Amino acid sequence: MSNWLVRGGAVLSGTVSVQGSKNAALPILAATLLIEEPVRLLNCPMILDVENMLRILESLGVTVLRESDALIVDSSTASRFVLPTALSGELRSSIFLLGSVLSRFHAADAPYPGGCEIGNRPIDLHLEGLRRLNADIEEHGGHIRCKGDRLVGAVVDLGYPSVGATENIMLAAAKAEGQTTIRNAACEPEIVDLQRFLCACGFRVAGAGTPTVVIDGVKKGHGTSFRIMPDRIVTGTYLIGAAITGGDVTVADTQPETVDTLLYQLAACGCTVTQHADAVRLRASRRLTGVGLIETRPYPGFPTDLQPQLFSLLSLAGGTSVLVENVFENRFKHAQELRKMGAKNRILDRTAVITGVERLHGAVVTAHDLRGGAALALAGLAANGETQILHAERIERGYERMESVIEALGGSITRKEDRIGEEEKTQ
C-alpha cells in the first residue's frame, strides 16, 4: 500500500510535459499480440496499469524489453491463450486482450476483469460483438472461454458507444475474414490512436473518431515504430491543479483539442486559458466561480475521467454547481472524502450539488479509485495544512511520477507509507 502526504498552500506554476496516454497505451499493447514481429513503442507511460498489462503479456510468452525511452514488445514468442487470474483481477483493461488473444490463437480463456470500483461496467457488449464475429463464448465459474477457429466479419451494432467494446471488436476483426462494420462506435481520441497503430502495422481500419468504424480483415500485420498520443486526462488534471491553487501552469507536448470541453468549463469558471498547437497555458489569479450544470457524456462530451478533479475545483468555487455523472453510477466516492476536508456537497443518485467554500483543510482521506484519488491530491494542494491520502497506489495506476511533477511546479507530495499505514490500521 502506498500513501501520500500532501502539503497545501503552494501556488503551482511552471511548465510540464505530459506523459503518454494510459487509455491509448493499454489497447495498443493488447494489439501487439496480433503482430508476430517486434513493435517499438515511444511515449508509453511508466504507470502501474501499463506494468500490469506487460506482466500479463509476459505470462502469455511475449518478450518485453525497455530500450532508453522506448518499449520493445515482441509477440513472436507468445504461446499461451489463458490469461492469469491474479494479474487480470488487478486490471480492468485486461478485457482488451480477449479479442487479440482470440484472433492470435483462435481461443482465449480469461477471468472477469478487475480495476477501480467506480460502478457497473458490464462486458456484455464485448462478448456480443465477438459472437457476431463467429466466436463461440461460454461463461462459467468467473471465467470467459472463447473459441474462434474462423472469425468472420460482420455488422456490429453497439447498444451504447462503449470505448472498450469498440476497441475489442476492432482487435478481433483486424485479422478476421471479410469486412466488419461497428455502428454506434465510441469516438474517443484513444480509438483514433488505436486505428493509427493498427494501420501502421499493415491492418486496414477506417472511421475511428466517428460513429462508424470499418475494418477489412488482413491475414498478417508487421512490426512498426509508433509514438503513443499524449494523455488528455493527465493534461486536464494538471490544468485543474493550476486552477485550484490560483497558479500559472503550461502543459506542453499535449493535444489541446482533446480537452476542449474542459477548457471551456475552466474559462467559464474565470480562468485565463491560452491554447497553442501542442500546449495549453492556464492562469487563475482570483477565486473562481461555479458553472451551473455539467454532465459527463461519451466523447466529445465532458469526460467522466475528469469529473472528480473538476469536483474538487468546484468545491472551492463561489456559488453552487451541479455535476451529473451519466457514465458510471458509482463515481462520487470522492465526495465523502472531500467533506472530511470541509467541502459542502450533496449526492442524489447520479447528481452532485456542490456549494463552494472559502477554504478546505487537511484531513486523512482515502483514494477509492484512480481519478478520485487524483482529485483528493488536487484538493490537498489547495487546502490549509496537510492531507494524508491512503491507498494512493490507486493514483499511480494512471499518473507517472505525479509527486515529481507537482514538486517541479512548486507543490509538495511525499510518501509516508509506514506512518500513515499504522494510522489506517487504528481507525
Cell of 157: 451494432
pLDDT in tens, 125-162: 999 999 999 999 998 877 899 999 999 999 999 999 99
Kindly list the distances between the CA atom of residue 96 and the CA atoms of 126, 176, 277, 366, 409, in Å, as whole numbers in the listed order: 9, 16, 32, 29, 35
5-14 mean pLDDT: 97
304-313 mean pLDDT: 98
For residue 421, the one-letter residue type is: G
Which pLDDT belongs to residue 417?
Answer: 63
pLDDT at 68 over 90: no
pLDDT in tens, 223-272: 999 999 999 999 999 999 999 999 999 999 999 999 999 999 999 999 99
Give the percent of the chain with pLDDT over 90.
86
Catalytic residues: 116
Which pLDDT belongs to residue 176?
Answer: 98
Torsion of CA 174, 179, 183, 186, to 10 degrees: 20
Length of the chain: 427
Assess contact for 242 and 248: CB atoms under 8 A.
yes
CA distance 317 to 314: 5
User: pLDDT confidence of 93, banded at 50, 70, 90?
Assistant: low
Which pLDDT belongs to residue 146?
Answer: 94
pLDDT in tens, 102-130: 999 999 998 876 544 444 456 889 999 99
33-56 mean pLDDT: 96
pLDDT in tens, 355-385: 999 999 999 999 999 999 999 999 999 999 9
pLDDT at 422 over 70: no
Query: What is this structure's pTM?
Result: 0.94
- Under DSSP, the state recorded for 364 is E
| Residue in the block written with cell 477509492 | 368
Which pLDDT belongs to residue 114?
Answer: 55
275-301 mean pLDDT: 95
For residue 103, the one-letter residue type is: S
Which pLDDT belongs to residue 96?
Answer: 76
CA distance 113 to 48: 16
Which pLDDT belongs to residue 91?
Answer: 67
Kindly list the distances between the CA atom of residue 56 and the CA atoms of 53, 98, 145, 332, 352, in Å, as whole numbers in the listed order: 5, 12, 17, 30, 37
pLDDT in tens, 157-212: 999 999 999 999 999 999 999 999 999 999 999 999 999 999 999 999 999 999 99
DSSP string covering 141-195:
TTEEEEE-SS-B--EEE-SS--HHHHHHHHHHHTTSBSEEEEES----HHHHHHH
383-402 mean pLDDT: 97
Lowest mean pLDDT, pick from 91-105, 175-189, 216-230, 409-423: 409-423
33 phi, psi to nearest 5 deg: -65, -20
Domains, in order of start, for the chain: 4-19+230-426 (3.65.10.10), 22-227 (3.65.10.10)
Q: In sequence order, which residues have a C-beta less than 8 Å from that of residue 98 and are 6 or more positions away?
A: 108, 110, 126, 130, 144, 146, 168, 172
CA distance 223 to 201: 6
User: pLDDT confidence of 285, banded at 50, 70, 90?
Assistant: confident
For residue 236, the one-letter residue type is: G
Lowest mean pLDDT, pick from 62-71, 153-162, 243-252, 299-308: 62-71
Q: In sequence order, which residues have a C-beta less than 8 Å from that of residue 63 and are 6 or more positions away?
A: 72, 73, 74, 75, 76, 77
